[in-house]
Structure formats: C-alpha cells, structure tokens
Amino acid sequence: MLEPKGYTTIKQIENYLLHTIKDYFKPQVEEWIAMMEKYVEQETGRVFIADEVATEKKYDGDGKTQLFLDECVEVSKLTIDDTEIDGDDYLLYPPNELPITRIKLKDDAGLIFNKGEQNIKVEAKWGYSANCPPDISFATTVFVAGIINFSGEMSGEIKQEKMGDYWVTYKDKTSWQDFERAKDILKKYKKIVIG
C-alpha cells in the first residue's frame, strides 16, 4: 500500500465534502489519497513535495559550465569526476526561486562539467517544492472526493469520469466545475520536457 505524501488530508476532504469520514473508512481514503497523488505526479511530471533527505543523482558532463537538473529544493553536494566542488564555486538557478533546475559553475572557479558519462553527481532534495502548492492540494482533494462520491450511492443528476484506474462522480454543477478546474490546474503545472 502506498503512503500519502501530504498533497491533501482527510480533514481537507471532509471540509470539501461537508461530512465526516468514519474511522473504519479512513485507511481506504488514505490509499485513495496516495493513488491520486501518484496520478497528479504522472499527469504533471512533477513531485510536489520534495524529499526530506537528500539523495544522489548522476548526470553526464558536457564540457560546459552549466548543468540542467531534475527539479529540487536544495543542493547539498556537487561532485565532478569524484572531486567534491566547494559550494562557493557554483550558483543555483533560478535565483531566489524554487524549484532549482540548473547549476552554473562560477566564472572565477576555473571549472567545467568535464565530458563523461554519469561523471557528475548531485546530492539534493528532489522535488518541485518543500510544501505542496495550495492549488495542487485543492485538485488532489477534489479528485479524492470524486472517488468517495463514486463509492457511495448518489441520486439525482450525476456526472462521472475515469481517472487512471478510478472513477470519479460529482452530483452538482459546482462540484463538476471544481473537477474541471482541478484538471486545468494539472495542465498548468505540466512539465515540458525539451530534447
């Protein structure tokens, strides 16, 4: 069973649905939260809550002074050909913003990312942000609420849609508009991969 990362909580879902989730049903809802977090990550190509512990990723050196990275919130170590580079010898970009997506070796450092295969190692906390953006949290909440609605009995005019392995159901126009807005939020965050 997947563990939720924290894109939404049972309390947020209860507040959205305007009813309490019974204790015996909470483990199932936690599983749905984890599945919808995974869905959000697959749809956007992003992890919205960065790792708490830094881990290493390898990159190919190209003989230049800049290296594009996977999204991260903190870089704790940079190694070129097994030589650790001092933090004063490189800059992180974009400046004053998250996520970090590039490392530039300072001009006065006299260094380059030597050409080679997987010879650059970056230790970082990988992910888009330290805390889930509020609109992604809203989208995840709406998706899980839709699954809960589908699992219950609803009467009246109902709209349904399949999301990955799950069906979501919304009874009223406002909830359906929230669902459409949630899908638009994911489109806004979709990572564009070049090359």
Q: What is the pTM of this model?
A: 0.86
The predicted structure's pLDDT at residue 154: 52
pLDDT of residue 153 exceeding 80: no
Over residues 17-33, mean pLDDT: 94
pLDDT tens digits for range 42-99: 999 999 999 999 999 999 999 999 999 999 999 999 999 999 999 999 999 999 999 9
pLDDT tens digits for range 92-134: 999 999 999 999 999 999 999 999 999 999 999 999 999 999 9
pLDDT of residue 171 exceeding 80: no
Q: Which of 168, 162, 165, 161 has its CA nearest to residue 142?
A: 168
Residue 175: pLDDT band (50, 70, 90) is: confident
Burial of 30 (0-12, 13-18, 19+ CB in 10 A): middle
